[in-house]
Structure 1
Amino acid sequence: MTLPQKKSPSQVSKIDFLPWKIWACGSFFYFFQFILRISPSIITEDLMRHFNVQSYALGILSAFFYNAYALMQVPIGMIVDRFGPRKILALSCFTTVIGTLIFSMAQTLTVASFGRLLIGAGSACALLGSIKLITLWFPPQRVGRLIGLTIFLGTLGASIGGAPLAFLIEKTTWKISFFLLAALGLCLTITIWFVVKDKNPEENPWNRSLNPGLEGASLLKGLLITIRMPKIWIIAVYSALMYVPIAAFADLWGIPFMREMYNLDRPVAASVISMIFIGAAIGSPISTFLSDHYKTRLWPMTIAAIGSSLVYVTIIYVPNIPLSVMYILLFLAGIFYSGKILSFASICDIVPHSVSGVAIGFANMTVMLSGVICLPLIGGLLDQFWQGKITNGLPDYTLGEWRFALMPIPFSILIALLLLKFIPETFPEDLKKPLHSAPLE
């Protein structure tokens, strides 16, 4: 009989740290795409001057990211399952690199829009690809926490990436800064290709599909099941309406609004808006904890809608708010927004397990469509009610014009609040029972 050989310290270290290295690659890609997502908000004036356009055209340009991101949400889970996360993540990251290069070198709005389209298409895989890596390399009891940590890190990309990027643009130019972002993305692509592995060498028994039970043509069947459920539509629309402040304010129009309100330079305005993402990052685990502790999905979603409506009405329409108070208000906006993530849990509660991946993809597609609609809508309202004032060759919008144009934000949240009347409590009944023998971790 042969005794099993002991592993050397180097082998143990390699096995212990390999899953974390792989997870870090996916998470950093999610972090990176968030920086690319919010980047137009930092260079609104540069883009309007470079392409000689006004706010509506700028909104259309920014919305191209959401067009591609939204359309990829339903099939991306099946694509990752079919070809493996390593190839798809590397290809997706490289797609964002190409898109960023095209965007940085664009001389026309059409070419820049194509670049943003590629960035959105590549970014669509970042989260689901990272989730697939987690399910491949970690046991089930760690999956929920690691998904939460991944989302936390991605949100930090938006919060801590904005001000440094704004500072870099101030010191160089926006074109050079985006070229450097593309170079960073290329390094990340190479790292993903050489570090990420599709299968755990120990063949983990907990490995599972992002779309369990759905292969090929049955994806369409799962989509049909999803869209025939009225509750899914209501929850998805609620989630989309709650996302409007992020897509329209945090991702694009918030920084120029703050610069107009407080006469701030670009890095400081970016740091103010970053408080939304910091609040969302901190609030997400709090919302999920409260939901599980009090065994309810509906109440945190309701509090999120009420709190968000009050905060954004204050931010947009109350005059003479001190800058220090504005930091706090935007942080609270992020905290309240985090309650929206429970809408995805609600969807998982009510759909068959076999179509949960498709249902989440459909809901996320609906969420991203809010950006497609609201970014150009607010830009169009700015152009429509602009009084014609020009400063340094660019339209100079008054606070009154800004406040009117941003009206879709609180209006969307109020509609979301009304929709909650038609959303039932979905927290699973079997989870409401006390688990007297549940082990503690």
Structure 2
Amino acid sequence: MTTDPASPACQSAPLNRTPTASPPPGGRTAWAAWAVSVSVYFVAVIDRTSLGVAGLDAADRFGIGASALSTFAVLQMLIYACMQIPVGLLVDRFGPRTMLLLGATLLTLGQFGFAFSHSMTPALLSRALLSFGDAMIFVSVLRVVGPWFPARRNPLVAQLTGVVGSIGNLGTAAVLAPLLHSRGWTVTFGGTALLGVAVLLLVGLLLRETPEGARRPARCTAPGPRPRILPQIRTAWGEPGTRLGLWVHFTTGFMAASFAILWGIPYLVEGQGLSREKAAVLLAVLVLASMPCGPLLGQLIARRPGARTHVALTVVLGTGALWAVVLAWPGGHPPLWLLVVLMVAMGANGPASLIGLDYARATNPPERLGTASGIANMGGFLSTTVALLGIGLLLDAASPGGDYTPGTYRWAFCWLYVPMLLGVVMILRLHPRVARRAAEGTSVPVPGHRPAQQGK
């Protein structure tokens, strides 16, 4: 399902990385191509996070408890994580436009199904379909970015992509939450499904994968030897930068993701006694804080790639320290200002997770970039799955009757430190090896990343 560089029928031609190919142009046309592709990601984030503001409503609608409710988000994250390598291979073979069209179709069908579900089984199936579509979007958008922008601009454009996702998340908190309580379940989720139809038409009519005159990625569409899928995966995984990217993504993003996707509103309403309106505002603070963080981190990493690991560890350890203060606060009710500070800190988690994808991009050649990005992108969704499931199980274990107290939430949220500590250990193990390879010049040379400065 991907290019075999050794195959005469599928010669590997690195996209926009050879002297005979036109260099990535940048400019207005490039930004237009990015805008069309990122519109799908915008809708995907809305669909993905819509359950976060509807968790309490979903529990009432389907008559379920915390562990059953967490099943929705766990299924969603698990499918997303497991699909990243297949999606990377498919993007490498069929191109991002095809995958964006397929992803948008599945997203739309899943959200329509969820809008009309009245019991847990069809709702789970709809959420699974949505997750398959969601899994195809982000890696495809990054693949669109490659041929349109110079390599030195890729970290910034990737962070801006994350900002657009944050805007979608903000729309979930600011628009979907009040709409859900004023217009009801079916109208709210049906309306977001219609957004999927709009972006599907937009991509189908307007998106161009590559600039005029640029080489397309080599795809194994001609007759010839069977595509070598496993060697492609093994080669990408064998690059230490890919594995470091996975663990950076694993460690940085899950605390904010698990909070925004499912447990934020229940924690703030049931655990802290806030109104739904105040809880939605705090969730919006988390999203708003992520918006300036993305471009700032993108510029920093582009100028000082050697700081990538240090930035990622600073973000995750700082967020973990703030959670420790919140969870240890006497009485279990920290002041509102401390919750605001925590939301701001978690706002940096998503942008920091994109550092992992930058490691994958900087250490792999273009013909396996989709595969490597898919591997790295699995990390945060695996850790989010672990966090979501662990919190739900601990809540039900501590309060089998469903009467969740501040103490119950305090106990359950301690689970966040399990994936955090695992990820930090793995980053510290891999970072010296990647830095050594970069210093020796044995990593894949990528334009815009000088080996002496990578310090990965």
TM-score, normalised relative to structure 1? 0.83
How far is the alpha carbon of 1:383 from its aligned partner?
Answer: 1.0
Match in the other structure for 2:279: 269
The size of the alignment, in residue pairs, is 410
Match in the other structure for 2:375: 362
| Preserved CA contact (<8 Å) 2:88 2:372 | no
Q: Does 2:423 correspond to 1:416?
A: yes
Q: Does 2:418 correspond to 1:405?
A: no
Q: CA RMSD in A?
A: 3.0
How far is the alpha carbon of 1:228 from its aligned partner?
Answer: 4.9
Cα 1:396–1:175 shift into 2, 3 Å: farther
Identify the match of residue 321 of structure 1 among 327, 331, 334.
334
Give the distance between the partners of 1:348 and 1:83, measured in 2 at CA.
Answer: 19
Identify the match of residue 40 of structure 1 among 51, 59, 67.
51
Match in the other structure for 1:95: 106
Match in the other structure for 1:282: 292
Structure 2: which 5+ runs fail to align? 1-25, 442-449
Give the distance between the partners of 1:253 and 1:167, measured in 2 at CA.
Answer: 18
Identify the match of residue 344 of structure 1 among 331, 345, 357.
357
Match in the other structure for 1:145: 156
Cα 1:167–1:210 shift into 2, 3 Å: farther
| Preserved CA contact (<8 Å) 2:81 2:382 | yes
How far is the alpha carbon of 1:299 from its aligned partner?
Answer: 1.8
Aligned-pair identity (%) = 24
| Preserved CA contact (<8 Å) 1:303 1:336 | no
| Preserved CA contact (<8 Å) 1:155 1:277 | yes
Q: Secondary structure at the match of 2:170?
A: helix
Give the distance between the partners of 1:396 and 1:359, measured in 2 at CA.
Answer: 44
| Preserved CA contact (<8 Å) 1:210 1:357 | no
Listed one character per residue, the Cα deviations across residues 182-214 of structure 1 (whole Å, up to 9, x for unaligned) are 1121122122212223454x2235x54699xxx
How far is the alpha carbon of 1:288 from its aligned partner?
Answer: 4.2
How far is the alpha carbon of 1:34 from its aligned partner?
Answer: 0.9
Q: List 4+ stretches of structure 1 deviating above 6 A.
A: none
TM-score, normalised relative to structure 2? 0.80
| Preserved CA contact (<8 Å) 2:62 2:119 | yes
Identify the match of residue 262 of structure 2 among 234, 252, 268.
252
Q: Secondary structure at the match of 1:407?
A: helix
Q: Does 2:79 correspond to 1:72?
A: no
Give the distance between the partners of 1:230 and 1:86, measured in 2 at CA.
Answer: 29
With 315-324 and 362-371 compared, the bigger mean Cα shift is at 315-324
Match in the other structure for 2:446: none
Q: Secondary structure at the match of 1:31?
A: helix
Match in the other structure for 2:311: 300
Give the distance between the partners of 1:81 and 1:223, measured in 2 at CA.
Answer: 12
Give the distance between the partners of 1:381 and 1:221, measured in 2 at CA.
Answer: 40
How far is the alpha carbon of 1:267 from its aligned partner?
Answer: 3.8
* AA matched with 1:159: L
Match in the other structure for 2:16: none
With 265-274 and 226-235 compared, the bigger mean Cα shift is at 226-235
Give the distance between the partners of 1:94 and 1:294, measured in 2 at CA.
Answer: 37
Cα 1:337–1:416 shift into 2, 3 Å: farther
Match in the other structure for 1:106: 117
| Preserved CA contact (<8 Å) 1:278 1:334 | yes
1:152-171 superposed matches below 5 A: 152-171=163-182
Cα 1:152–1:297 shift into 2, 3 Å: same
Match in the other structure for 1:7: none
